[in-house]
Amino acid sequence: MRVQLRTSAWFRRVLLPILFALSVGGAIELAIELRFHPGFWQRSTHLLYDPYRGEPFDRSELVTRLRNVENSEPDIISVGDSSGFFSLQPAIINRYLDGWKYVDLNTGGTHAYDGYYAIAEYMLRRSHHIKYVVLYIFPLYLPQPCFFAGADLGRILMGDLLSFKAALLPPSAFLSPYLKLWLFQGRHFHRSDPFGGSEPDLQLPATVAAAQGWLPEYDGRIDVTGKQLSFCSDKRPGLLPRLGLAEQSSTVAYLEDFDRMVRSYGARLVIAFAPLPTKSIIPKDPNFPAADGALARFQRERPDVKFLFPLLMFWGPEKFGYFNHVSREYTFLPSERLAEGLGRLIRHPETIPPYATEAPDRGAPYPRKPVTPTGAADPKLLDAALALFRYATTTDDADWQLVSSRVQHLLQADPAFNDMMTDVKTRMVSLAKQGITIGMDMSQLEATPVTVSDPSFCDTRPGVEWVQIKGSMIFTYSSPTFNARTPVSWIVVLMPTIVEDGVRKFDGYCPEPSMATAKNAAP
């Protein structure tokens, strides 16, 4: 009797109110679901919708890209850092793949490495077509502790894409931006609004479907010569690795985990290293042997994983805006390089050699270029120095006429360059149809003639004259609804020019011997 009474009190005073709360909550959730049908990205917690700060581009670009390509049934995807985000153009690469479809899902260093894993697994869950997952990374950004330190978004992305919480997010979460902005700012939220007001924020949604994930590099620029980078320690943190009771190499542990995940979906892991500027590695880097050895051991233990390129492939420093970013006028080169590698993987995987230990290019860095101004700043110098850069964005023939005949011949002979320009033209037409114009305002840039001694430059003709560019490049975007002017600091850019027919022209491009080797190696 006493037990019955107690049970009854619990039922009346605890269970029934809880059931009441669950019923009311459930009914409201159901009503929201039936009325609005919010999808995964509308309920996801990945975008902040914080009324007091803008949406960080690192978050919004990923959502924009995944939403656009997640149902495109690719055969190959790439994940990794921004060396791939800005330099791998699917529109070029897909021309080499015999009908296979590649999409670029490389993001940035802030997503490393849990974020790369999460993006790959998210796509593998959605698309059973995927046969290869390419981990495309800058050689110095191996999965090592010092690189994880600044990667705050990696774990967040893992939670937002793959966790139990992500699967359980209720329909009411979709109301968040609508109610937050209405309540805290007094304005209405529209799903079609861009996430931010900068040029890349606006350009990406307009071009992402056609570009299949790629976005032209819009970063600041530095002079990449005269400085060198070093590898990180490969020691895996934690008590068990330290005691020798777990894998001690951070690189091996991470890659094994990644490979296991990719295999569990019936796909294969492929590793591709981005090129890096010549002489950019410190000589006798004490961490290099450990990193190189770890990769070699991983290859021995997992022979099915293909390494498309050696760890270190050096390209002329003129092709880099940053150490890890090939600048926008040269994206055809890394795209072509990856396309050749993937084509070989698809057609003759057995011809791809296993990863082998190698030695980096030894020796001191190129000395910082001693720059001596020889005249006053001149806007005409700017037009010449940035002719190829501008042509790769606008396809304006006037810019092409400011490219030296040497460079014109070299570029025209490269089918990937022509593919890139075809793609640019297609994109410009598509943007024009949407009433969108993208461009550059160079009014904040200053170009000065200088003398430079650059032993890395290929054109040794006596007429070469250098131009130093400093200031801010303003990337512009205008459409019927939005306008943006996004200034980006260009700290020091040095460009070689040459006078032809009395006109100063851009002369900065040098062919890459490694590209010719790669093409010859392709069966």
Partner 1 sequence: MTFIELDYLFVFLPLVVIGYYLLRGTIWANVLILAASYYFYGATTPWYLIPLIVTSLIDFLVGIRLSKTERQGARRAWLILSLTANLGLLGFFKYTPWLIGEINSGLASAGVGYALPVLAVVLPPGISFYTFQTMSYTIEVYRREMAAARNLVDYMAFVTFWPHLVAGPIMRARNLLRQLETLRPVIEPDEFRYALALIAWGLFKKLALADNFGAIVESADSVVQAHIPVPGLGLGLLFAYAFAGQIYCDFSAYTDIARGSAKLIGVDLVRNFQTPYFSTSPGEFWRRWHISLSSWLRDYLYIPLGGNRHGRWLEYRNLMITMTLGGLWHGAGALFVLWGIYHGAMLVFYRLVPIDRYLTRWLGRFGKWLSILLTFHIVCFGWILFRAHTDTILPLLRSMKFWRSQAPSELTYYYSRGIAILGTVVAITDYLGYRRDIEFVELFRRWNPYLVAGIATACYFGITIFARREAAQFIYFQF
Q: Which residues bind partner 1 (CB under 8 A)?
A: 9-10, 12-14, 16-18, 20-21, 24-25, 28, 45-53, 156, 164-165, 170, 172-173, 175-176, 179-180, 183-186, 239
What kind and span of H or E run contains 522?
A: none
Question: Of 279, 336, 347, nearest to 309 (Cα)?
Answer: 336
CA atoms within 13 A on the CB side of 217: 29
Least gap, CB of 30 to partner 1 (angstroms): 13
| Least distance CB 153 / partner 1 (angstroms) | 10
Nearest-approach distance from CB 181 to partner 1, in angstroms: 10
Instruction: Give the closest residue to 291 by CA, choosing from 108, 146, 132.
Output: 146
Closest CA to 289 of 186, 359, 207, 190: 359
Closest approach, Cβ 231 to partner 1, in A, equals 23
Nearest residue to 488 via CA among 502, 470, 467: 470
Name the residue nearer to partner 1 (CB basis): 48 or 503: 48
HSE of 238 in the Cβ direction (CA atoms, 13 Å)?
14
Q: How far apart are CA 324 and CA 351, in angstroms?
A: 28
Shortest CA distance to 167 belongs to which of 122, 110, 124?
122
Report the alpha-carbon distance of residue 420 to residue 428 in Å, rounded. Answer: 12
Q: Compute the least distance from the CB of residue 484 to partner 1, in Å.
A: 18
Mention every residue, 6+ apart, whose C-beta is less than 8 A from residue 516. none
Nearer to partner 1, 176 or 476 (CB): 176
Distance separating alpha carbons of residues 389 and 74, to the nearest angstrom: 30
Query: Which CB atom, from 21 or from 516, has the smaller least distance to partner 1?
Result: 21
> Minimal distance in Å, beta carbon 67 to partner 1?
17
Closest distance between partner 1 and the C-beta of residue 481, in Å?
Answer: 19
CB of 24 to partner 1, least distance (A): 5
Instruction: Rank residues 170 and 289 by Cβ distance to partner 1 and give the closer one.
Output: 170
Complex with partner 1: residue 45 or 418, whichever CB lies closer: 45
Number of C-beta neighbours around residue 119 at 10 A: 26
Q: What distance in Å separates the CA atoms of residue 443 and residue 382, rounded to the nearest whole number? A: 10
To partner 1, the closest distance from the beta carbon of 182 in angstroms equals 11
**Which CB atom, from 175 or from 464, has the smaller least distance to partner 1?**
175
Look at residue 288 and give its three-state secondary structure.
helix
Number of residues in the chain: 523
Q: Pick between residue 50 and residue 301 the one whose CB is nearest to partner 1.
A: 50
Question: What b/e readout covers 379-388, taking b as 16+ CB neighbours within 10 angstroms?
Answer: eebbbbbbbb
| CB of 152 or CB of 358, closer to partner 1 | 152
Q: Could you please report the per-residue DSSP string of 447-472? A: EEEEEE--TT-S---TTEEEEEEEEE
Task: Decide whether 49 or 400 has the Cβ nearer to partner 1.
Answer: 49
